[in-house]
Amino acid sequence: MPVARTRSGAGVPATDEAGVLARLGIRREQDLALHLPIRYEDETRITPIGAARPGQTAQVQGRVARHEVLTRPRRALTVELRDDSGAIALRFLHFYGSQLRQFATGNRVRAFGEVRGGLFGLEMVHPRYRLVGEHEPLPDALTPVYPTVSGLGQARLRSIIRRALGALDWCETVPSDVLGRLGLPEAAEALRAIHLPSPATPADALHERATAAWRRVIFDELLAQQLSLKRARAARARHAAPVLADRTRVQRLLAALPFRLTGAQQRAWHEIGTELAAAQPMNRLLQGDVGSGKTVIAALAAAQAIGSGWQAALMAPTEILAEQHLRKIGPWLERVGARIAWLSGSSKESDKREVRARVAAGDVDLLIGTHALIEDRVAFARLGLAIVDEQHRFGVVQRLSLRGKLEAAAALLPHQLMMSATPIPRTLAMSYYADLDVSVIDELPPGRRPVRTRLVSEARRDEVIARVRAAASTGRQVYWVCPLIEESEALDLQTAIDTHAALAVELAPLHVGLVHGRLPAADKQAVMAAFAGGSVQVLVATTVIEVGVDVPNATLMVVEHAERFGLAQLHQLRGRVGRGTGESVCVLMYRAPLSAAARERLKTMYETADGFEIARRDLMQRGPGEFLGARQSGEALLRFADLERDGDLLEAAREVAERLLREHPGQADEHLRRWFGGREEFLRA
Ligand code: ADP
Ligand code: MG
């Protein structure tokens, strides 16, 4: 039932309210039941004013002793509230004339808010309040606070949800023996206990989502995810894929490479090459730390597809990275007779049109580029293999659409190879990637020396400059990464330009280049080529160089304001050096004082270079969003579960999903409908 029809006559036009609810992801009546509180407030008790303490969130009740409108320093309303034990001031900086009447002397007011120690005693700023009668009862459940958006107040949302809950008619989807074994309540009961918890519920457990009711909901969410992934996997297995079995070009490419594959690369390639030759679509993640050599594996896979008479596509998240693939893989594959084309958003319109025509006619064997590859207008004649580099940088939808490029044309699904340097902790792999097979390159090419990491306070910038000069004087090259300005892209850009100007003076006569996201593609290309060729010795860059850039002669990296970067980002950045055989150094420059979290991140970077360990600590500090590109897709995939905390439930959910699909497919359907409505697609990447 559409939500719009459930509104009561509170004067909000139905369409508006439906629109506001849709912004919260609530489209159906049952979505309301799953719109869960972020926290709770205890309005079941009144704190005597004299017992309220600054810093505490409390509910007080008393009579208005007086009120006063100040005009200086700015307009403000102050209401003095008294009970038998003391007095407190309620302050309002924004108020209406009607409020003055409410605060007539002698009126009885109940107020909820944070108590502060003001200049003249206790106060509450903009408390929630209402007028109450003599024996007004207190609520008998904790008050849930919901995520909301402007245009929909807590009180209104609460009443909509409460009504939906009253009408909730959910059959149980999980077998009772499972619930018994896990000690979980029934679904409907759990939801009521979460929306309207009794005051006896331990507040800590409730807030940490550790009550049995919360665990039930978390279990259900994980179960829905597992069901969806297993369904997707089964659906994929029913599709056929092109058989890419001709290895002659692979052999020629291997023979032409300037190096031998490492053992780990050989193992990964064996897995991938074998799957390409089968008639089921491959859906494989190639995972290897930065610098482990994933690109060559992609090239081999493309060679096998092309040699078998099919097309391949390689999509990368940035122009710089796609460009670099073109320069590196291009010549390798041209040597084995492949026709390569390039497509990016910034290509000239006429070029794009021409490339699209050739791709559609089957006159291109390998198409390399950025997001432009997944535009609707791009149609492949015979797409056999879709490769997505740095897959976590893409949204889920984007990853899906490349695979869709063949389905439209034939009843076949192309093989899909995704690559990532961001290691996925085990729990994540088990949950989000249950639909993916994983190959791991766990060995670096020979001769690499570990990057030494130095933590240096900004106060010692002069020493860092001297170090840059010294590196350049021995013919080495340097990355200088600009501070990240999260809140403003414009400022970010300006900082990069300023940093470049300053360094060009400080480091003269060295040649200092600048690359950032807003640079026109041709300029970007020119700077990167000059750096790769060695005529630019120092490259000032924003995080656009974070992924994939490969200039082995660069052995020093300076990261300014390293405390602002996330762990995964720092690890990726540091991976830009240490790619050749020279000794490499990464200087993480920070500004004191450091926050506890920043200190922890820098310490991690200093202590370890192991991508897995870094990912694990990152997951602990930040949650899974970043690993999954959830930000780009705009949909957080798990709303309630926390994989570190709820690992035990995840294991159980995997088993139960298996069993439901086998024994109770109807219940599995119902469970999926509840949790995802029409959004299951997002889980299938
Ligand atoms: P990543 O896995 O981070 O994408 P790349 O594929 O860019 O790493 O490889 C990093 C560097 O190592 C490249 O210069 C690549 O040519 C080189 N390389 C890859 N495999 C080997 C190998 N087996 N032996 C020596 N060098 C290799
Ligand atoms: Mg790479």
pLDDT band at 546; cut points 50, 70, 90: low
Q: Say yes or no: CB of residue 629 within 6 Å of ligand 1.
A: no
Mean pLDDT is highest, among 55-59, 354-358, 389-393, for 354-358
- Kindly report the protein residue whose alpha carbon is nearest to atom 9 of ligand 1: 293
Query: Phi/psi at 432 (nearest 5 deg)?
Result: -70, -30
Intra-chain end-to-end CA distance of the chain, in Å: 29
Q: What is the pLDDT of residue 6?
A: 38
399/458: higher pLDDT? 458
**Residue 560 to residue 542: CA distance in whole angstroms:** 10
Q: Say yes or no: CB of residue 329 within 6 Å of ligand 1.
A: no
98/248: higher pLDDT? 248
Lowest mean pLDDT across 79-88, 587-596, 671-680: 671-680
Ligand nearest to the CA of 321: 2
pLDDT band at 226; cut points 50, 70, 90: confident
Mean pLDDT is highest, among 388-397, 460-469, 577-586, 642-651, for 460-469
Phi-psi region at 209: left, alpha or beta (left = phi > 0; alpha = psi -120 to 50): left
- Please say if the pLDDT value at position 681 is more than 50: no
Helix (H) or strand (E) holding 156: helix 154-166
558/324: higher pLDDT? 558
Q: What is the pLDDT of residue 679?
A: 54
Torsion sign, CA atoms 419, 425, 428, 430: positive
Taking only the tens place, the pLDDT of each residue in 391-414 is 766 665 666 677 776 654 557 889
- Please say if the pLDDT value at position 503 is more than 90: yes
**Residue 126 to residue 112: CA distance in whole angstroms:** 9
- Please say if the pLDDT value at position 42 is more than 70: yes
What average pLDDT does range 326-330 have in this prediction? 89
- Does residue 99 contact residue 92 with C-beta atoms inside 8 Å? yes
Q: What is the pLDDT of residue 360?
A: 94
**Mutation pick for ligand 1 pocket among 290, 295, 417, 444 (CB with most ligand atoms within 8 Å):** 295
**Residue 398 to residue 517: CA distance in whole angstroms:** 20
Q: Say yes or no: CB of residue 580 within 6 Å of ligand 1.
A: no
Q: What is the pLDDT of residue 627?
A: 45
Mean pLDDT is highest, among 266-270, 470-474, 660-664, 681-685, for 266-270
**Residue 114 to residue 77: CA distance in whole angstroms:** 17
Ligand nearest to the CA of 331: 1
Q: What is the pLDDT of residue 104?
A: 93
**Residue 164 to residue 159: CA distance in whole angstroms:** 9
- Could you tell me which residues are beta bridge partners of residue 222? none
Tell which atom from ligand 1 comes closest to the C-alpha of 294.
Answer: 2
Give me the residues near ligand 2 (ion), CB cutoff below 5 Å: 548
pLDDT band at 650; cut points 50, 70, 90: confident
- Please say if the pLDDT value at position 666 is more than 80: yes
Q: What is the pLDDT of residue 660?
A: 94
Q: Say yes or no: CB of residue 263 within 6 Å of ligand 1.
A: no
Ligand nearest to the CA of 328: 1
CA separation, residue 412 to residues 285, 302, 311, 448 (Å): 20, 18, 13, 42
Q: Say yes or no: CB of residue 290 within 6 Å of ligand 1.
A: yes
**Could you check whether the bond before residue 13 is cis, i.e. omega within 30 degrees of 0?**
no
Query: Phi/psi at 558 (nearest 5 deg)?
Result: -115, 125
Q: Say yes or no: CB of residue 292 within 6 Å of ligand 1.
A: yes
What average pLDDT does range 185-211 have in this prediction? 88
- The mean pLDDT value of the chain amounts to 85
- Does residue 132 contact residue 61 with C-beta atoms inside 8 Å? yes
What average pLDDT does range 246-269 have in this prediction? 96
**Residue 76 to residue 243: CA distance in whole angstroms:** 75
Lowest mean pLDDT across 246-250, 586-590, 645-649: 645-649
Taking only the tens place, the pLDDT of each residue in 147-172 is 888 788 888 999 999 999 888 888 89
Q: What is the pLDDT of residue 15?
A: 58
Query: Phi/psi at 606 (nearest 5 deg)?
Result: -70, -40
Taking only the tens place, the pLDDT of each residue in 605-649 is 999 988 878 877 876 766 544 444 433 332 346 778 877 778 888
Taking only the tens place, the pLDDT of each residue in 282-291 is 989 898 887 8
- Please say if the pLDDT value at position 143 is more than 70: yes
Q: Say yes or no: CB of residue 30 within 6 Å of ligand 1.
A: no
- Kindly report the protein residue whose alpha carbon is nearest to atom 14 of ligand 1: 550
Q: What is the pLDDT of residue 548?
A: 62
Angle (CA) 169 156 1, round 5°: 35
- Please say if the pLDDT value at position 2 is more than 70: no
- Does residue 547 contact residue 317 with C-beta atoms inside 8 Å? yes
**Residue 121 to residue 88: CA distance in whole angstroms:** 7
Q: Model-level pTM greater than 0.75?
A: no
**Mutation pick for ligand 1 pocket among 253, 259, 553, 577 (CB with most ligand atoms within 8 Å):** 259
**Mutation pick for ligand 1 pocket among 260, 261, 296, 549 (CB with most ligand atoms within 8 Å):** 296
Q: Say yes or no: CB of residue 421 within 6 Å of ligand 1.
A: yes
- Kindly report the protein residue whose alpha carbon is nearest to atom 25 of ligand 1: 445
Angle (CA) 115 116 121, round 5°: 110
Q: What is the pLDDT of residue 635?
A: 35
- Does residue 307 contact residue 250 with C-beta atoms inside 8 Å? yes
- Please say if the pLDDT value at position 43 is more than 60: yes
* DSSP symbol at 173: -
511/71: higher pLDDT? 511
Q: Say yes or no: CB of residue 445 within 6 Å of ligand 1.
A: yes
- Determine the distance separating the centroid of ligand 1 and the alpha carbon of 477, expressed in angstroms: 19
- What amino acid occupies position 96? Y
- Please say if the pLDDT value at position 268 is more than 90: yes
Q: What is the pLDDT of residue 286?
A: 93
- Could you tell me which residues are beta bridge partners of residue 36? none
Angle (CA) 221 227 230, round 5°: 140
Q: Say yes or no: CB of residue 293 within 6 Å of ligand 1.
A: yes
- Determine the distance separating the centroid of ligand 1 and the alpha carbon of 549, expressed in angstroms: 11
What average pLDDT does range 181-203 have in this prediction? 90
- Does residue 378 contact residue 343 with C-beta atoms inside 8 Å? yes
- Please say if the pLDDT value at position 228 is more than 90: no
pLDDT band at 485; cut points 50, 70, 90: low
What average pLDDT does range 458-468 have in this prediction? 95
- Kindly report the protein residue whose alpha carbon is nearest to atom 20 of ligand 1: 293
Neighbours of 244 (CB within 10 A): 28
- Determine the distance separating the centroid of ligand 2 and the alpha carbon of 683, expressed in angstroms: 25
Helix (H) or strand (E) holding 130: strand 128-131
- Does residue 328 contact residue 550 with C-beta atoms inside 8 Å? yes
Lowest mean pLDDT across 7-16, 35-44, 84-93, 648-657: 7-16
Q: Say yes or no: CB of residue 223 within 6 Å of ligand 1.
A: no
Short-list 458, 215, 415, CA closest to 311 = 415
- Kindly report the protein residue whose alpha carbon is nearest to atom 26 of ligand 1: 445
Taking only the tens place, the pLDDT of each residue in 80-123 is 999 999 999 999 988 888 888 899 999 999 999 999 987 778 99
- Kindly report the protein residue whose alpha carbon is nearest to atom 16 of ligand 1: 293
**Residue 489 to residue 585: CA distance in whole angstroms:** 29
What average pLDDT does range 193-218 have in this prediction? 88
Taking only the tens place, the pLDDT of each residue in 278-322 is 999 998 989 888 788 999 999 999 999 999 999 999 999 888 788
Tell which atom from ligand 1 comes closest to the C-alpha of 288.
Answer: 2
**Residue 679 to residue 396: CA distance in whole angstroms:** 12
- Determine the distance separating the centroid of ligand 1 and the alpha carbon of 301, expressed in angstroms: 15
3-state secondary structure of 121: strand
